[in-house]
Structures are given as structure tokens and as C-alpha cells.
Amino acid sequence: MERGQLFVVGIGPGDHDQMTFRAKEVIAESEVVIGYDTYITLIEDLIVGKEIHRYPMTQEVDRANQAIRTAEGGKKVSLVSSGDPGIYGMIGLVYEILAERNWERDNGIYVECVPGVSSLNSCAALVGSPLMTDFAVVSMSDLLVPWEIIIKRVEAAAMGDFVTVIYNPTSKRRVHQLRDTREIFLKYRSPKTPVAIIKGAYRESQTVVITDLQRLLEPEHQQIMGMITTIIIGNTSTFTYRHLMINPRGYKSKYELVHDTPADA
């Protein structure tokens, strides 16, 4: 039997222009495509005629197991994940299951992680240059990670003056997490610290707001909070300019930034 192949594919934020060439290539080559229903919908025009398996949210384990079993049957399979599959995505779970099954890399199914544009850099691109220096990424979802651990990570990021990207800031069930996080950041940063709120980057629902830490939880901002919203909190050096967040890399301390004479003079 032909060796099966499993591609765990990052489709980026959802717009086809933001997908990598490799992602499109392996999806085109695959006989079977498996994924969360919303992600399948985002790439429907790329998978016409293929065997498709849609799953609701929270069935990640079932998705991963079906993808592995199908590949073990000799098929070429794409398990699609939004953003990058290695950043809060599906590849970690796939490898965990394979390890439990004593998978051998050389003799078992072929597995490839196809990286994609993550929410952290797609959102950063829309709001300026907030990730020019060290940054941290924290998810507010406590479904798999206890809130006590998440809050320790938030405190460390705030105290360390990291620009901080927040995934999954709120949901219908989770209402206090973002409020608690804001209170921690206010212990270490000015209320005027720039904050970007980005909903549905590169999708039809895209909404971008530049505000500050003090006004983060204003009612008009609550309306765009949710599972497809990403928040970027600046550090003590971040500033805003013409509705952009700019985080200095440090060049100004060593170089003259503006040259009045032409470069070829």
C-alpha cells in the first residue's frame, strides 16, 4: 500500500492572498480535507470535488484522529488550521497522538506541518509595526490551561515590558479574563499605552481599532470582542502616529533617522 501523507496546513487569516504557495499546493494535491467548519468554508473554492469532513468547534481530537487514520489508509490528507498550525493550532495535537501510537517518522505516515500567517503578524501588519521588539503571546482561553497559570504569564509579560498579543480575549462564557488582564497591565504601564483591537483580520468582518489601555473595555470596543479578535498591547516605548502603532527598534539611539541629502549625492 502506498505510504499515506498528512499535511497539517496553516491557511492564514482566511483571505486566499494571505495563504502561502505551499499551503495551496498541498491542498490541491490532497484527496481528503478535514477541518473545523468555519475553516473549510474559507477555502471551499479550493477543495471542490474532494472528500471533505467538517467538524464543529471543540472536536479537535476527533479531527486529528480521523486525519491520522485516513492517512494510514494510504490517502493524501490535509488537516486545515487557521493561522499557523504550530501557534495554538493542530500540529501539536497531531504529534501528541502520533507519539501515543508509537509512530515512526521514517516508516510511518508522512507528516508535514505547512506554516501559515498567524493572527499575531497578520494583525500587526494592519496596525503598523507593534512587534519590532520582544513580545509575548497569551491566550485568554482557559479551556485547556488553568486560569491560575495564564494569569502568571500575563503578570510576567506585563512586568517584563513585553509588547503583548492576546488571543481569544473573550467569549460568552469568559467575561472576567480580559478585565483582570487589563488591571495587571495598569500596574506596570501608563493608562495611555497604545492598544490595537483587530477583529477578523483579512476577512469580510475585519474591524481595526486603535485605542489605549485606559479605554480598552469601553462599550463600543466590547462589541468587537470575541474569538476572532486579537488584541495587541504596546510596551512603554510604543507610540501612535496617524492611526498606527509604532514600536521603536532602537535605531534612533544610534543613527540619524532623517537624511536631508539624497542617498546618491
CA gap 126, 165 in Å, rounded:
14
Residues 6 or more apart whose Cβ sits within 8 Å of residue 74: 1, 2, 3, 4
pLDDT in tens, 127-145: 999 999 999 999 999 988 9
Whole-model pTM? 0.91
CB atoms within 10 A of CB 259: 9
pLDDT, tens digit, for every residue of 174-220?
779 999 999 999 999 999 999 999 999 999 889 999 999 999 999 99
Catalytic residue among 24, 50, 161, 212: 50
50 is catalytic: yes
Model confidence pLDDT, tens digit, residues 29-42: 999 999 999 999 99
Same fold yes or no, 5-117 and 120-246? no
Q: Report the CATH number of the 5-117 domain.
A: 3.40.1010.10
| CATH code assigned to 120-246 | 3.30.950.10
Render pLDDT for 57-84 as a digit per residue (tens, 0 to 9): 889 999 999 999 999 999 999 999 999 9
Q: Which of 254, 147, 127, 251 shows the shortest CA–CA distance to 201?
A: 127
Rg of the chain over Cα atoms, rounded to whole angstroms, equals 21
Task: Please state, in angstroms and rounded to a whole number, the distance separating the CA atoms of residues 81 and 10.
Answer: 5
Taken as a whole, the chain contains a residue count of 265
DSSP codes of every residue in the chain: -PPPEEEEEE-BTS-GGGS-HHHHHHHHH-SEEEEEHHHHHHTGGGSTTSEEEEE-TT-HHHHHHHHHHHHHTT-EEEEEESB-TTSSSSHHHHHHHHHHTT--TTTS-EEEEE----HHHHHHHHHEETTSS-EEEEE---SSS-HHHHHHHHHHHHHTT-EEEEES---SS--SHHHHHHHHHHHHS-TT-EEEEEESTTSTT-EEEEEESTTTT-HHHHTT-STTEEEEE--TT-EESSS-EE---SGGGTS-----S-TT-
Spot the catalytic one: 37, 62, 134, 180.
37
**pLDDT tens, residue by residue, 143-177:** 889 999 999 999 999 999 999 999 999 887 777 99
At 42-61, the pLDDT tens digits run 999 999 999 999 999 889 99
Task: Give pLDDT tens digits for 3-19.
Answer: 999 999 999 998 899 99
How many CB atoms are located within 10 Å of the residue 76 CB? Answer: 19
pLDDT of residue 205: 87
Q: Is the CB of residue 160 less than 8 Å from the CB of residue 205? A: no
Domain assignments of the chain as residue spans, ordered by start: 5-117, 120-246
Q: Distance of alpha carbon 41 from its chain centroid, rounded? A: 18
